[in-house]
């Protein structure tokens, strides 16, 4: 029979509590909590800095794994040429405007450090998946609108492209290419109006990042299609010199494009995916057009 000596057992127990920060450099303290949910990690989880939650493991599949010069893990997504500036340090020499503990203003449910993020051209940061969701869901209701493509924080306009050349084909088909030769507009008109082309076509886009380029491309083409049709209808209705455009007190002063987009309503055909005229927006009625 073995007799256990309680005094010997007590002597072998350390009197001081274990301090996990004493064995690692101070700048590596973040690795002891999950990089996404900040839950405490077990010793076997310290290598990848992730807890066992399924959501955190899923986020890690498209999160950047590179370590920044400040010793923090990059909060961006995989395969970016330039890492997202650190949102934990927020050094003065970086162009980051938000903190890792700030809420994503798209979902308003999780902090920016809780999921991989991307930085738009306006330098605002949002969850990568949130930006994807906004572009996939597009607009609400039948009327085509593009406000969802603006940055939720600054609503800034960008993406101005100069027209390089215009190619006109039979039956009202014409194409507009930018200075680099990329297609801007490819439309067929079935009424005899010579298209009035601007020297500059501007987009109200600010959500712009290489990771969502495949979602942005069809939306940009749709925007150009709606803009060109609305501008032609404005000219056809003889409203290019209306007070809404010529009056200095008007919000559309010298801005016929925005006035045309606001005045006319376009809906998307569910068969061909083209934009069709649905009446004036002030009527608040949309006709169902089918090819």
Q: Which of 205, 266, 267 is nearest to 233 (CA)?
A: 266
Residue owning tokens 């997202």: 84
Residue 158's pLDDT is: 41
Which contacts of 239-244 are long-range, i.e. CB under 8 A and separated by 24 or more positions?
A: 239/263
How far is it, in rounded angstroms, from Cα 73 to Cα 170?
A: 57
Residue 176's pLDDT is: 58
The pTM is what?
0.68
Q: Which residues pair with 273 in a beta bridge?
A: none
Residue 15's pLDDT is: 37
How far is it, in rounded angstroms, from Cα 120 to Cα 82?
A: 13
How far is it, in rounded angstroms, from Cα 231 to Cα 83?
A: 41
How far is it, in rounded angstroms, from Cα 42 to Cα 59?
A: 19
CB atoms within 10 A of CB 11: 9
Q: Which of 141, 147, 143, 149 is nearest to 265 (CA)?
A: 143
Residues in the chain: 291
Token pair for 248: 């200095």
pLDDT tens for the chain, residues 1 to 291: 444 444 433 344 333 333 333 333 333 344 488 889 888 888 888 777 888 899 999 999 999 999 888 888 899 999 898 899 888 887 776 778 788 999 999 999 999 999 999 998 888 999 999 999 999 999 999 999 988 988 888 765 444 444 455 555 554 555 656 555 655 555 444 333 333 333 334 444 468 899 999 999 999 899 999 999 999 999 999 999 999 999 989 888 888 988 999 999 999 998 888 999 999 987 544 333 333
């Amino acid at each position: 029979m073995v007799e256990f000596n309680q005094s010997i057992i007590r002597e072998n127990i350390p009197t001081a509590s274990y301090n996990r920060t004493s064995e690692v450099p101070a700048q590596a303290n973040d690795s002891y909590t999950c990089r996404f949910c900040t839950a405490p990690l077990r010793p076997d989880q310290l290598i990848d800095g992730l807890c066992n939650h399924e959501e955190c493991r899923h986020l890690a599949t498209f999160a950047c794994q590179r370590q920044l010069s400040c010793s923090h893990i990059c909060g961006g997504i995989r395969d970016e040429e330039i890492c997202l500036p650190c949102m934990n340090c927020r050094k003065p020499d970086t162009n980051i405007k938000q903190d890792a503990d700030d809420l994503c203003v798209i979902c308003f449910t999780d902090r920016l450090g809780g999921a991989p993020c991307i930085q738009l051209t306006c330098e605002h940061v949002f969850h990568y998946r949130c930006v994807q969701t906004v572009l996939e869901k597009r607009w609400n209701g039948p009327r085509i609108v593009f406000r969802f493509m603006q940055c939720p924080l600054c609503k800034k306009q960008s993406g101005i492209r100069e027209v390089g050349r215009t190619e006109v084909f039979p039956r009202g088909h014409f194409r507009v290419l930018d200075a680099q030769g990329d297609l801007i507009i490819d439309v067929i008109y079935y009424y005899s109006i010579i298209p009035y082309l601007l020297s500059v076509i501007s987009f109200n886009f600010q959500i712009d990042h290489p990771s969502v380029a495949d979602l942005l491309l069809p939306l940009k083409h749709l925007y150009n299609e709606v803009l060109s049709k609305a501008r032609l209808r404005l000219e056809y209705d003889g409203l290019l010199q209306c007070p809404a455009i010529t009056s200095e007190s008007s919000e559309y002063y010298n801005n016929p494009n925005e006035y045309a987009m606001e005045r006319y309503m376009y809906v998307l055909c569910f068969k061909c995916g083209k934009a069709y005229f649905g009446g004036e927006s002030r009527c608040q009625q949309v006709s169902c057009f089918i090819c």
